[in-house]
């Protein structure tokens, strides 16, 4: 809504400026994500593979040596391979959460939370509905990606030691609650020009008729409620247009 007495052109220019800034932030975030993935593959996986090559060469040179030393080298190679396989698995899940397609939203949420705990050391308690939750595919992905962003925010900003996640179905909505015991923040900060992360989460959900609710204070932790309707007329309309 444009405040009384404020020129339309001025409001439009400011809105366009904020949209351009948000678009730029999203592109930067995507590029940072690509760089992080490339760094993981190069530094971790690449390093392991180089080490495996060296260990294999040393093993070959010792084939006529002490059997105990050979077994030690083999065990070292096995550990490096285990680490490399785990890294590939994690990076692949982050790029394309196949578990979401194969086993559903609840399983994907649990898997992501387990990865989060292993990576950050922050305890994560999960409570999921005891039945499969059926969402349109795109809405399901949007909710899952928003959940990933919520966990990233906890890791980067909250200084939390514990996160509680609850996935439920209430009425016509799927609700995903993410609550941490961190330092909290002022929700009014969302209106600041550079508060792109939370605004991006809100807009991602809004595209599917969803919403993001925030309850936070300093100190006292933060509660995010991610809500997406089980059935959205806009999704049905778009699907119908594509089918024709």
Please write the tens of the pLDDT for every residue from 38-74.
Answer: 677 777 777 788 888 888 778 777 767 677 777 788 8
User: In this predicted structure, what is the pLDDT of residue 31?
Assistant: 62
Residue 189 DSSP class: G
CB 127 within 8 A of CB 105: no
Task: Give mean pLDDT, residues 134-149.
Answer: 87
User: In this predicted structure, what is the pLDDT of residue 147?
Assistant: 94
Report whether pLDDT(160) > 90. yes
Determine the Cα–Cα distance for residues 164 and 225; give it in Å rounded to an integer. Answer: 12
Residue 182 DSSP class: S
User: In this predicted structure, what is the pLDDT of residue 165?
Assistant: 97
Specify the pTM: 0.63
User: In this predicted structure, what is the pLDDT of residue 1?
Assistant: 47
User: In this predicted structure, what is the pLDDT of residue 146?
Assistant: 92
Please write the tens of the pLDDT for every residue from 223-242.
Answer: 999 999 987 544 444 444 44
Please write the tens of the pLDDT for every residue from 76-85.
Answer: 888 888 888 8
| The dihedral sign for the CA sequence 43, 49, 52, 57 | negative
Report whether pLDDT(244) > 50. no
User: In this predicted structure, what is the pLDDT of residue 133?
Assistant: 85
Q: Which residue has the higher pLDDT, 155 or 25?
A: 155
CB 143 within 8 A of CB 108: no
Lowest mean per-residue pLDDT among 29-38, 54-63, 99-108, 109-118? 29-38
Report whether pLDDT(166) > 90. yes
Q: Which residue has the higher pLDDT, 22 or 28?
A: 22
The total of other beta-carbon atoms located within 10 Å of residue 169's CB is 15
Q: Where residue 27 falls among pLDDT bands split at 50, 70, 90?
A: low
Report whether pLDDT(215) > 60. yes
User: In this predicted structure, what is the pLDDT of residue 208?
Assistant: 86
- Residue spans of beta strands (DSSP E) within the chain: 123-128, 162-170, 173-180, 211-216, 222-229
Distance of CA 187 to the CA centre of its chain: 21
Structure-block tokens of residue 3:
């405040």
């Amino acid at each position: 809504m444009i405040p009384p007495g404020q020129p339309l052109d001025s409001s439009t220019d400011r809105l366009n400026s904020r949209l351009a800034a948000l678009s730029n932030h999203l592109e930067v975030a995507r590029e940072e994500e690509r760089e992080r993935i490339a760094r993981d593959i190069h530094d971790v996986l690449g390093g392991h593979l180089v080490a495996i090559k060296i260990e294999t060469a040393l093993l070959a040179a010792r084939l006529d040596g002490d059997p105990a030393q050979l077994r030690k080298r083999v065990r070292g190679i096995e550990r490096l391979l285990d680490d490399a396989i785990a890294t590939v698995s994690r990076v692949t899940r982050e790029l394309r959460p196949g578990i979401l397609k194969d086993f559903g939203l609840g399983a994907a949420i649990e898997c992501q939370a387990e990865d989060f705990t292993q990576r950050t050391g922050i305890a994560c308690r999960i409570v999921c509905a005891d039945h499969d939750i059926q969402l349109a595919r795109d809405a399901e992905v949007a909710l899952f990606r928003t959940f990933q962003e919520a966990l990233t925010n906890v890791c980067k900003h909250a200084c939390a030691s514990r996160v509680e996640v609850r996935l439920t179905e209430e009425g016509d909505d799927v609700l995903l609650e993410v609550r941490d015991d961190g330092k909290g923040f002022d929700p009014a900060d969302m209106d600041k020009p550079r508060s792109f992360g939370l605004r991006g989460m809100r807009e991602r959900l809004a595209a599917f008729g969803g919403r993001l609710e925030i309850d936070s204070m300093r100190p006292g932790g933060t509660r995010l409620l991610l809500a997406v309707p089980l059935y959205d007329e806009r999704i049905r309309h778009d699907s119908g247009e594509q089918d024709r």
